[in-house]
Amino acid sequence: MIEITGQHLINGRWKNLGNDTFSSANPATDVNNDYCFFEATSEDAEQAVVSAAGASKQVRRLSAIQRADFLEAIASEIELLGAQLVEVAMSETALPQMRIEGERGRTCGQLRMFASKLREPTQPLHIDLADSARLPMPKADSRLNNVALGPVVVFGASNFPLAFSTAGGDTASALAAGCPVIVKGHPAHPATTELVSHAINKAIISTNMPVGIFSMVQSSAPEIAQQLVQADAVKAVAFTGSQKVGDILNKLAQSRVNPVPFFGELGSINPQFILPALLATQANTLAANQVASMLMGHGQFCTSPGVVVVTKGAGLDALMATLKENITSAGAGTMLTRAIAQTYQQKLAHWTSHEKLNLIGLGQEGQGQCQTPAALFDVSASDYLSDVSLQEELFGPAALVVVCDNSEQMQLLAQTMQGQLTASIHGTVDEIQTEQSLDLIDDISQHVGRVIFNQMPTGVEVCHSMQHGGPYPASTAPQTTSVGSNAINRFTRPVCWQNMPSSILPSELQDNAASVQIVI
Amino acid sequence: MIEITGQHLINGRWKNLGNDTFSSANPATDVNNDYCFFEATSEDAEQAVVSAAGASKQVRRLSAIQRADFLEAIASEIELLGAQLVEVAMSETALPQMRIEGERGRTCGQLRMFASKLREPTQPLHIDLADSARLPMPKADSRLNNVALGPVVVFGASNFPLAFSTAGGDTASALAAGCPVIVKGHPAHPATTELVSHAINKAIISTNMPVGIFSMVQSSAPEIAQQLVQADAVKAVAFTGSQKVGDILNKLAQSRVNPVPFFGELGSINPQFILPALLATQANTLAANQVASMLMGHGQFCTSPGVVVVTKGAGLDALMATLKENITSAGAGTMLTRAIAQTYQQKLAHWTSHEKLNLIGLGQEGQGQCQTPAALFDVSASDYLSDVSLQEELFGPAALVVVCDNSEQMQLLAQTMQGQLTASIHGTVDEIQTEQSLDLIDDISQHVGRVIFNQMPTGVEVCHSMQHGGPYPASTAPQTTSVGSNAINRFTRPVCWQNMPSSILPSELQDNAASVQIVI
């Protein structure tokens, strides 16, 4: 058992310069957990940045194999945390054991996926050989590769205490790219953050990494986050969280003397477009799938389906009836934090009192501050389109059924929707191939990172073809993904090397390495 | 001969809704040119946006071959403009005939390079096949490709009236990506803009493109630029110009309700690091190359070498002597506009009166408002490092020689320099391979898009391995390039297609297309 000390991990040492503390609460019992965590001081944060900056050169010069060994060691060390990690994470998030264990598996799987990618030979991006005889001017040798950006600040996410936090996808991909990482732990699960940081620290020691490769600071105040984003030595920021906080941090990143990329995944309502022929025959299944998907993680997945778009016609009554039945019987669930539960209740109250919304059904009410009911409402497409507040994410287990008068209205909705991580089209194979449907799909594809046919959006596959990110507000950097192997590209930048002697080029660009893959 | 009417090209028509006009001046004679150009009204700009938005779907559904045909037709039509284009461009920029002809060649070459890239089979980014037997959960089929972003606003650049303006690299790469383009012509060369727009319009007609694929508006006022950047239907912006204007427009792009990527190339001083052994033996050649490079385009290339970094020692006196000789004998040159000339003169006055700077030599004074002398100054590294104003770009034919006491100071300068498009290291093959030099190169690579050995930075090769863009302020999007075939990636975004029937997938993702290149 690792003792939780509440300290920060800075430059290879557990320490705290200040004495102010904060606690996490158990959302299930609404009682504070036993541990206390030191609020990072400005000096703590500064030391973490200095440590990362100091290690930056050494980290980017690590071989791909060294980085792979490190990532795999982190995965093994996380597994060695065993039941303690599961219990602590459960106590801070109220997520069920199976979910935490599954998320641990995904977290370790991501680390190993990046490691296995690093074990493949590094390819040059492109090599153009010199041509001294070219007219009117000789052509210089130029070779393109990716270089690491430097220190990256990663913010832990409330809704994925493992897979999007301390050793989650952002940290794993930044380390894989050759960047030191400074994690700002999410204040809702600091003990989880500390345990995982212990695992990373053990991996640093066992694989002989520079200590500055990973630091972690805890804080429940916004000032430390702001300081880290604005630190001159920090070269990129990765954030998964609310649109409000993400916007603030992104603005800070862009208003620096030297602005840096801000990779924020901020919000998505993941619309479900149901076409008429499938609705006519599969209304019950569609309704059951919708409720099951929106209840996953009690509606606190980034890909939770918050809007169902249908047209009036056969099957709509059956859809509504099954939605009502399933949502009404849904038990109350526990939100991740008091603040998230409160925001959900406030927005739910707005929906409940909204004169254009009609309640389809409310799930069971819970007890305690963090327990909330699931809910489904319906609204006409014209009312939905005329009220922007309805088009914003409601983080939690609530969704709107938007009823269109006709397919043109459905198309208009697709054309005007905000950027989304995903959208699904549910239809028969026949109806999806009509010109009208293809047009709808085309419009949808302009607003999302992932287009899905006849499946629910929850459950993001960690694979090479994944795109987790879409136009704002789904992502602040829609040309990148935060899940899948391409996530590594966020933390590198192409550099062209012109007329350099082969021996001092990065290894993947040297003559011998490139001899089989030169493209002229 | 095409008659210059001063109108905008909007939705396939030459038109003007307002009657206010502006003129361009001939910088060589300081006399206004004969033509008048209508100031675009807000309604003109709005119509251009509506036209582009309306064509967006049709444009992104064009086949790669159709796009290639269009780009090649533009190149041919530009060539058919013949001597008129050269004469008009010369009259608006005072750039010499050979330079304009060379730039026309580069412009047409860029268009044809993107066309040839489009004629290669489009590759899927990745295909992951389904695995229904996978445990604990079946794996869905998912396939990743690039989709076009939608309407792109391109700003013409003062210093490249052809290659970075109306049909320049930004327009060519956006069209190649499948995006409609709205060009805001640079007010310094509106007649050139109009002629090239004529060529594009002819290509639209001959290759049967939707008219909304290209619009062009002229304006000398900032409001139209701001309106275009903020238009909801605009999905990306490409800009080459000053840091001041670029910052303003970028901030507008990021403060939209739906922020969009802003690809700005803003400023670079392209440092030249000269190592001691080469300085000791090649001082005269190094000095001659520096002056020749900084005088190209009268110092108005993005890659103009504005700083020379040396250490005290053998060869420094010879370097200074030759620099003085060559710069003193340099004739006055004509700046692109009165405003650019004025800014140059102001900053030159700041340098001249700066107590820490020492004048190495001043070129010949010119006549007329737009003629300016070249200039070289030297400064100690400690004085340079302590005054940020010296580290900013001085757009024009002036450079600083920064004299370091030792190699540590040179390294410090590399570590603290702003983001740059390029930096060169000049050294013998022996001295570049020392640990110290490798460390210097590593530091340099963290701040630039292109690292050059023993060559001057002017003369950017348009090729696959080019990286034209570095950390801010060189670029607002350092992970992208504005020159070379990868420039096209700025205007697409990855989309993952999950569980889609093969027949309705984008063609490059369909089963038959992908059968030989599936990676599982």
Q: What is the pLDDT of residues B138-148, one digit of tens each?
A: 999 999 999 99
Test A142 with B471 for CB contact under 8 angstroms. Answer: no
pLDDT confidence band for B30 (50 / 70 / 90): confident
> What DSSP string describes A434-498?
SHHHHHHHHHHHTTEEEEEESS-S-S---STT-----TTTT-SSTTS-SSSGGGGGGGEEEEEEE
Q: Which of B258, B419, B448 sits opposite A472 (nearest CB)?
A: B258
How distant is the Cα of B144 from the closest Cα of chain A, in angstroms? Answer: 5
Select from A126, A418, A448 the Cβ nearest to the Cβ of B465: A126
pLDDT at A136 (0 to 100): 83
A496: nearest CB among B261, B450, B489:
B450
Q: What percent of chain A has pLDDT over 70?
A: 98
Between CA B80 and CA A272 the distance in angstroms is: 52
A340 to chain B, minimum CA–CA distance in Å? 24
Residue B344 structure tokens: 């140059």
Residue A516 has pLDDT above 50, yes or no: no
Contact B471 A61 (CB under 8 A): no
Catalytic residue of the set B77, B103, B265, B508: B265
**B418 at interface of A, judged by CB pairs closer than 8 A:** yes
Between chains, do B465 and A433 touch, taking CB under 8 Å as contact? no
Mean pLDDT of A222-247: 97
* Interatomic CA distance for residues B322 and A49, integer angstroms: 45
For A325-339, what is each residue's pLDDT tens digit? 999 999 999 999 999
Dist CA B458 CA B91 (whole Å): 24
Nearest partner of A237 among A190, A312, A181, judged by Cα: A181
Cα–Cα dist A88/A105, whole Å:
16
Average pLDDT for residues B423-448, to the nearest whole number?
Answer: 96
Rounded Cα distance between A131 and A126, Å, is 16
Which of B436, B498, B504, B507 best tests the A interface by mutation, with the highest count of A CBs <10 A?
B498
CB-based contact B449 A489, cutoff 8 Å: no
At residue B17, the 3 state secondary structure works out as coil
Q: Which residue matches tokens 């040159």?
A: B333
Question: Which of A441, A453, A496 is facing B449, going by the closest CB pair?
Answer: A496
Residues 424-463 of chain B with CB under 8 A from chain A are 429, 432-433, 438-439, 441-443, 445-446, 448-455, 459, 461, 463
Looking at the partner chain, which of B137, B459, B481 has a beta carbon nearest the beta carbon of A459? B137
pLDDT of residue A57: 95
Task: Tell me whether B132 touches chain A (CB under 8 Å).
Answer: no
Are the Cβ atoms of A499 and B57 closer than 8 angstroms? Answer: no
Question: Cβ of B486 under 8 Å from any chain A Cβ?
Answer: yes
What is the DSSP code string of A42-78? Answer: HHHHHHHHHHHHHHHHHHHTS-HHHHHHHHHHHHHHH
The 10 Å Cβ neighbour count of residue B393 is 21
State whether residue A134 sits within 8 Å of chain B by CB.
Answer: no
Confidence label for B513 from pLDDT (cuts 50, 70 and 90): low
- What percent of chain B is helix, strand and coil (3-state, nearest 5)? 45, 20, 40
Chain A neighbors of B251, CB-CB under 8 A:
254
User: What is the ipTM metric for this complex?
Assistant: 0.96
Q: A–B: how many Cβ contacts below 8 A?
A: 180
Joined together, the tokens standing for residue B406 give 């030792």
Segment A89-109 shows an average pLDDT of 96
Q: What does the block give as tokens for A512?
A: 């011998």
Q: How far apart are CA A474 and CA A304, in angstroms?
A: 12
The pLDDT tens digits for B156-189 are 999 999 999 999 999 999 999 999 999 999 999 9
- Tens of pLDDT, residue by residue over A337-394, are 999 999 999 999 999 999 999 999 999 998 889 999 999 999 999 999 999 999 999 9
- Of B123, B479, B486, B505, which to mutate for an interface test with A (greatest number of A Cβ within 10 Å)? B479
pLDDT digits (tens, 9 = 90+) for A463-472: 999 999 999 9
Do the beta carbons of residue A237 and residue A151 sit within 8 Å?
A: no
Question: Catalytic residue at B404?
Answer: no
pTM (whole model) above 0.90: yes
Q: What is the pLDDT of residue A513?
A: 66
Question: Is A43 among the catalytic positions?
Answer: no
Whether the Cβ atoms of residue A379 and residue A401 lie closer than 8 Å to each other: yes
8 Å CB contact of B261 and A478: yes
- pLDDT value, residue A518: 41
The reported pLDDT for the residue numbered A241 is: 95
Residue A63 identity:
S
The pLDDT of residue A9 is above 50: yes
- Subunit contact A433:B142, Cβ cutoff 8 A: no
Q: Quote the Cα angle for B345-B351-B353, to 5°.
A: 100
Catalytically annotated residue among B92, B108, B194, B302: B302
User: What would the pLDDT profile of B214-265 be if each residue is shown by its tens digit?
Assistant: 999 999 999 999 999 999 999 999 999 999 999 999 999 999 999 999 999 9
Percentage of chain A exceeding pLDDT 90:
95
Q: Which residues are CB-contacts of A306 (< 8 A; sequence separation ≥ 6)?
A: A269, A270, A271, A294, A393, A394, A398, A399, A400
Q: What is the dihedral of CA A110, A111, A114, A117, to 10 degrees?
A: -100
Local confidence band at B519 (pLDDT 50, 70, 90 cut-offs): very low
B-chain residue closest to A483, CA distance? B496
- Residue A24, pLDDT score: 92
pLDDT tens-place string over residues A170-201: 999 999 999 999 999 999 999 999 999 999 99
Would you state the pLDDT for residue A30? 87
Angstrom distance (rounded) from CA B112 to CA B71: 7
Top residue of B465, B476, B500, B504 to mutate, by most chain A CBs within 10 Å, is B465
Backbone φ and ψ of B9, nearest 5°: -105, 110
Cβ distance of A451 and B258 shorter than 8 Å:
no
In the numeric block, the tokens 């927005």 are attached to A347
| Distance of residue B242 Cα from the nearest chain A Cα, in angstroms | 16
Q: To the nearest whole angstrom, how far is the Cα of A395 from the nearest Cα of chain B? A: 20
pLDDT band at A520 (very low <50, low <70, confident <90, very high): very low
